[in-house]
Every structure is written in structure tokens, then in C-alpha cells.
Amino acid sequence: MLLAAGCAGRTPDTGQTPDTDGKVQKPPAQSQSVSPVEPGEKKGPAGLVAATVTRVVDGDTLVVRLKDGKSETVRLIGVNTPESTREVEPYGKEASAYTRSRLDGQRIWLERDVQERDHYGRILAYVWLEPPGGVDPAEDVIRSHMFNAELLLKGYAQVMTVPPNVKYADLFVQLQREAREKKRGLWGLEVKDREPYYVGNARSKKFHRPDCEYGRQTAPDNRVRFATREEALDAGYEPCNACKP
């Protein structure tokens, strides 16, 4: 745990780490805090909640107003856009501007996964631009109507998988691969300082440059060697925030 925390660097900001403070996570179906979709509205996956975006904080974080008038912060599940607030990473401003242009003031629908909130109290959600109309939406519906998927497809976000919220994780890796192969968005940025190989940690699912201290501390049993960063990304590994491979 110590290693994972040190390596992640931005983990507190991404906020999707499992709750460790001992609070019981209520499953979405039992939530009292969010209004269900009203009768007569199109139904999607169980627990789909309508909301209006009142502010875009950055590429993957929004403030929404729910039907009962309550304001909530929403963190998108499974994706991570480059930083644009506390520090500015390459493509962070673009990602933030894109999300603002697509979602600000819009009506959206929130789909939960296993954990309702992160440890900052933010709602964890897949953001639908239109209700998908089924518990297991078809891939083309996800591609065209889910904003998390759109961010990946257009290269504004990288995959960030945080168990147990993994409903669309495999598809997300595939969408990221498409964006990368077409050099869309952040994938069009020049990659500097390529390494002869990379070291993955099978437990944290992060990958590192060979000389990264967090990579070197990886237990031998958890070590995975990748010839290229593309190989690591396609295996669902995420770049370490310390060595930025």
C-alpha cells in the first residue's frame, strides 16, 4: 500500500481509490441521497440519475444539480484527464475546455458502478449524454452516448481503472488504443525520452521507467516487463505519475 500511495502521486486528486476510512459504501440502489429517475422517463441502467451540469471543474470533474436541487461534485469513472488546475500538464487545458464545451449547462444522466462515492464524497459516475436504455448498453451506444468513452476516443483522457469500479474497463482500454493509434489529442504529443523497456507492477497496474524508484521497489512477483509504453497501455497499465513514462 505504501508503495502504491507513493507512486501514485496524484491519487488523492483522482479520488477513485477504494474507501479506506472504514465507512460502509452504500450500494446505489439503497442510496437515499440521490433522486431516482422519475416514472415516465426513459430508463437506463439501474440507478440512472438525471442531473444538470452547473460547472465544469476540469476535464473529468463536474458540479451538477440533481432533481431535488442538491448540488453534487461528480468524478468520471475509469478515465483521467491531464491536470489543469493545481498544476498544468500537457493537454490539461484542452481537456478541460473540451469538457466545458460539451457539458456545461447540459442535462446528463449518471450511472454508478460498485462504489457510490470516492473518499472526498464525490459521486463516481459514467456520464451519459442520453439515457442508454438498457442495463448493458451495446458498444455503439456507449461510443456515441457516454462521455467517459468520448473523452478516451478523442484523446482527452487516459484510462484509469480503480477496482471495484470496472464495468467498462476492458472497453475503455480498447478505446484508448484506438485514440493512440490515430494520434488523437494527447496521443499526438511527442513522446520524449523513450526507454529500452518499462517495468509494470501487476498489483497497482502502474508502469514505470526502469530507473524509477517506485518501479524498482516493485516486488519481484509483481514485476511485469514491457518492451514499449504502448504494450503497457494496451495491457491496461497506467503511467506512473512520478516518472511519467
Q: Note whether 208 binds Zn ion by CB under 5 A.
A: yes
Choice between 135 and 219, CB closer to Zn ion: 219
**Under the criterion CB under 5 A, does residue 243 sit at the interface with Zn ion?**
yes
Q: Would you count residue 8 as binding Zn ion (CB under 5 A)?
A: no
Q: How far is the CB of 46 from Zn ion (least distance, A)?
A: 38
Q: How far, in Å, CA of 238 to CA of 244, rounded? A: 10
For Zn ion, the closer of residues 107 and 216 by Cβ is 216
Q: Determine whether 225 is an active site residue.
A: no
Which residues neighbour 222 within 8 Å (Cβ) at sequence distance 6 or greater? 201, 202, 203, 204
Helical segments of the chain, H only: 2-8, 11-14, 92-103, 139-145, 147-153, 169-181, 213-216, 229-234
Which residues, listed in sequence order, are joined to residue 75 by a DSSP beta bridge? 61, 124
Q: Pattern of binders to Zn ion over 26-65, x per CB under 5 A?
A: ----------------------------------------
Contact 176, 235 (CB under 8 A): no
Q: How many positions of this chain bind Zn ion (CB under 5 A)? A: 7
List all residues 6 or more positions away from 180 whose beta carbon is below 8 Å from its beta carbon: 155, 187, 230, 233
76 in Cβ contact with 168 (< 8 Å): no
122 is catalytic: yes
Q: Could you tell me the smallest distance in angstroms from the CB atom of residue 8 to Zn ion?
A: 10
Considering the complex, state which of residue 3 and residue 243 has its C-beta at the smaller distance from Zn ion.
243
Footprint of Zn ion on this chain (CB under 5 A)?
208, 212, 214-215, 240, 242-243
Question: Which residues have a catalytic role annotated?
Answer: 75, 83, 122
